[in-house]
A and B are shown apart, each in its own frame.
Chain A
């Protein structure tokens, strides 16, 4: 069994970070994982995406043409990647920035106003954590407990940010219900 998740958005939205958090949580749960960034000539405000592969067998090709799931943080990402997602996958749409839907009836579409939720808990920049938590709650690829642990580890050097991000995580989980 293998799942591939594509995270996509603008540079600066924390796309690569939430991919890493998911990969870390899956590793902690004993899965084989790979985190593959897009590392072309990128810049702040440009596109940023990464793929996280989670499997129970050693991971073969790290290049994934048709991922199982998509977390789209801006409109160009949704328009570019929604058509290639495997049927039955979860597509998280950042409702704060994307006024359209995926146009696919065979996907589990989850619309979350990530930025508004993040702002309501104290900082709009935590929109990425809201999105990740909502995605994890819906897709159940890892447990919320593992995710929480990995957020604490990730922000260990900046402990002031932990409560904010945990709150953002909790609100993200609620948004997926």
Chain B
């Protein structure tokens, strides 16, 4: 298929259809409403189901019902909407149901603002719901990558029988870039007879499937949580994705940044190179699991004197970067929140200041 120019939100919508997901439930909220706008005419074309819920709480349980019946299903929302869905997301994790949630973040807390922000990092990676639940979290940095991650997310959700989240910012949703889709629609490949409550008609086994997250027997609940933990550990072992940028040679500082922010950082890295200052960059493509080993290794390079976590939040990723660096280098934070995107010039300034203060300490 030739390249088309599309908004990130529209590309996410089309990508879900290309991934074989024909069920979408949502409640509108800026800056991702174009997903619903697109799917409300596009899904009927492919005999899909588009349904607007009466609230995000309701949407989360519409997702639960559809996922429990074994069909591919997804929703999109933005920060406050995701907070409302969080109870349902925990239930999905507990019942081990696959689904895809897209969060096109806005600034917070509360209603905040609609401009680009990355302030839901901790919510997505560590605090998405009550109980010991985790999501696999992917963070696209372009419209093409947003589409690709959506297409990867459905098989991953089914592999782990766990919700997957695509965490984007307002720019990823609103920006238009060329995007290329695979020619053919993918169908649902996996056999869900083992767990989905899809009726007894076609099933070989005579046992009833029960979809639930209630385990009143403490021993059973502990075992259930141990199983979930094993699954999250397996994600850490098998699903880490990241990109290295300018890390082949020596560099004085290492930047860790994701999403739109990482693109601004790449421009800063290129501009610094012209000034004779080498800076490496690691861009996590998955936020959970986090590329700990890659960051630890890159920070340990002898020439590297400092590590910077650059994000559109008040330093939510710093603890993960510090955990990866394991005290080998000082970790600094730089960021802005609320809709202002730091410019390459600001990042260059911060890198220079950080390197100068590191020298004066020696």
Contact = CB atoms under 8 A, between A and B. Distances in A.
A62 B343 contact: no
Contacts of A63: 171, 264, 341, 343
A60 B176 contact: no
A97 to B, nearest CB: 27
A32 B3 CA distance: 11
B175 A36 contact: yes
Interface residues of B, number: 25
B282 to A, nearest CB: 16
Interface residues of A, number: 19
B178 interface: yes
A130 interface: no
Contacts of A24: 5
Contacts of B267: 60-61
Given A35-B5, A39-B31, A40-B115, A60 B174 contact: no
A127 interface: no
Contacts of B5: 20, 23-24, 27, 33, 35
A65 B346 CA distance: 11
Contacts, number: 61
A156 to B, nearest CB: 13
Interface string A74-105: 00000000000000000000000000000000
Interface string A22-38: 01100100001111110
A62 B260 contact: yes
Nearest to B174: A39
A62 B263 contact: yes
Contacts of B270: 60
Interface of B: 3, 5, 30-31, 114-115, 170-171, 174-178, 260, 263-264, 266-268, 270, 339, 341, 343-345
Given A39-B31, A39-B114, A62-B171, 15 more contacts: A20-B176, A27-B178, A33-B177, A34-B176, A34-B177, A35-B175, A39-B30, A39-B115, A59-B177, A60-B270, A60-B344, A61-B267, A61-B344, A62-B263, A65-B345
